[in-house]
C-alpha cells in the first residue's frame, strides 16, 4: 500500500510573495512567462522550493537572505490622473514609483491597479501575501469609487447595474450605487465593487451606454481617502489601520507596535497638487459622511 510522501518546501510564488518580490498573482504571471528559474531550469506553477534552491528572476539571482519576509509596511497613495501603476514604461511616461519612499529590503507591491486616467486611493505594501488576499475576489473586499458620468441615467439603468450585466470576461455588477449630485449634464455617483477586473467600473457603465468622464477611488476595504492627503502624496498606515486590513484578509494581527515611522505627507516635488473639481470629495472622517457612516466596510 502506497503512502503519500510529505511535500518539502513552500510554493515558489508564496516564497517570493512573502519576500516582497511581488503579489502571488504577479509572480504566477512571471512563472507562466518563463521569467523565473530554479536550479537552472524554468520554474513551473506550483513548484516547491527550499532554502538551498537557486532561484533566478529575469536572469538575476534571488538571494537566500531575502527568503525572510521584510518588515511589513503599508502606504496609502493619492494617485493623480496621468500616472501609471508600473515600474517601467517603454514610452517613458510618469509612474507612481518616483514618488514613493525607497526601501532597503523588499519592494512596494500595489494592491490592485488604477489605470492611467483613474485617480485616488492606491494601497501599496511590502507584504505580498497581504496584497494577494486583499485583491482576491474570495475575500470580498469592497472598493468604492466616485464616478462622474455624462448625461441622464434612468432608474432602470441603475437597477440593471446592480442586478448584473454581461461583460466580455463574464458577468459583473455594482454592489451599491448612490447618486451624489452634479451640475448640468454631469452626474456623480458612488459605486462599490467586490473585485478588481481591468477597467471594470468603466466597462459596467459603458455596457448600458453611459460614458464615464471622471473616476476616482475613495476607499479600499477599511481605508478611506482623506481630504488631508493631497494628490501625489502618500502616508504610512498606522498600526491599527494595518491590523484592520489583516483582519479582513484573514491574517493574524501584528502583536507588537511596529517601529516608529514618519507619519508625514510627502511633498510633490515636480508639480503642485491639483485642485479638486466639483463633485464628491474624500472625507477625513466617516462620521462626516452619511453614506459611509451607514456602512461596515468589509
User: Quick one: 10 exposed, middle or buried, by C-beta within 10 A (0-12, 13-18, 19+)?
Assistant: middle
Residues recorded for the chain: 298
Specify the residue for cell string 494595518: 242
> Which three cell numbers, joined as nine digits, stand for 213?
468622464
Count CA atoms within 13 Å of residue 141 on its CB side: 25
> Which three cell numbers, joined as nine digits, stand for 63?
538571494
Provide the terminal-to-terminal Cα distance of the chain, rounded to the nearest Å. Answer: 47
User: Which residues contact residue 291 at a Cβ distance below 8 angstroms, ignoring those fewer than 6 apart?
Assistant: 178, 180, 190
Is 169 tagged catalytic? no
For 98, the 3-state DSSP assignment is: helix
Q: State the DSSP H helix or E strand holding residue 291, giving kind and residue range, or none if neither.
A: helix 290-293
**DSSP secondary-structure letter at 84?**
B
Q: In whole angstroms, what is the distance from residue 94 CA to residue 242 CA?
A: 28
Q: What phi and psi, each to the nearest 5 degrees, are found at residue 17?
A: -65, -45
Contact in structure between 217 and 225 (CB atoms under 8 Å): yes
Using the Cα atoms of residue 232, residue 101, residue 69 and residue 252 in order, give the sign of their dihedral.
negative
The single residue of 53, 58, 89, 115 carrying the catalytic annotation is 115
Contact in structure between 59 and 220 (CB atoms under 8 Å): no
Specify the residue for cell string 538551498: 52
Indicate which residues carry an active-site annotation. Answer: 115
Amino acid at each position: 500500500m502506497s503512502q503519500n510522501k510529505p511535500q518539502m518546501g513552500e510554493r515558489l510564488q508564496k516564497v517570493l510573495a512573502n519576500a516582497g518580490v511581488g503579489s502571488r498573482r504577479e509572480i504566477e504571471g512571471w512563472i507562466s512567462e518563463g521569467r523565473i528559474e530554479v536550479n537552472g531550469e524554468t520554474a513551473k506553477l506550483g513548484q516547491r522550493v527550499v532554502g538551498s534552491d537557486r532561484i533566478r528572476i529575469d536572469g538575476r539571482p534571488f538571494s537566500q537572505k531575502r527568503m525572510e519576509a521584510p518588515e511589513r509596511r503599508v502606504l496609502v497613495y493619492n494617485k493623480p490622473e496621468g500616472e501609471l501603476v508600473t515600474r517601467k514604461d517603454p514610452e517613458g511616461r510618469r509612474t507612481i514609483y518616483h514618488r514613493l519612499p525607497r526601501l532597503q529590503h523588499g519592494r512596494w507591491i500595489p494592491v490592485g491597479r488604477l489605470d492611467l486616467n483613474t485617480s485616488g486611493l492606491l494601497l501599496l505594501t511590502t507584504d505580498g501575501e497581504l496584497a494577494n488576499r486583499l485583491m482576491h475576489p474570495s475575500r470580498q473586499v469592497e472598493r468604492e469609487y466616485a464616478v462622474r458620468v455624462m448625461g441622464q441615467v434612468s432608474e432602470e439603468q441603475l437597477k440593471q447595474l446592480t442586478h448584473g450585466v454581461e461583460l466580455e470576461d463574464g458577468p459583473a455588477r455594482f454592489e451599491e450605487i448612490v447618486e451624489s449630485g452634479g451640475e448640468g449634464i454631469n452626474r456623480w455617483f458612488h459605486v462599490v465593487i467586490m473585485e478588481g477586473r481591468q477597467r471594470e467600473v468603466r466597462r459596467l457603465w459603458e455596457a448600458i451606454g453611459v460614458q464615464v468622464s471622471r473616476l476616482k477611488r475613495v476607499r479600499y476595504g477599511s481605508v478611506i481617502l482623506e481630504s488631508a492627503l493631497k494628490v501625489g502624496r502618500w502616508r504610512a498606515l498606522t498600526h491599527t489601520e494595518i491590523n484592520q486590513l489583516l483582519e479582513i484578509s484573514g491574517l493574524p494581527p501584528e502583536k507588537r507596535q511596529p517601529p516608529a515611522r514618519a507619519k508625514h505627507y510627502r511633498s510633490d516635488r515636480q508639480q503642485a497638487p491639483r485642485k479638486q473639481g466639483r463633485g464628491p470629495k474624500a472625507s477625513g472622517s466617516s462620521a462626516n459622511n452619511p453614506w459611509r457612516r451607514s456602512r461596515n466596510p468589509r
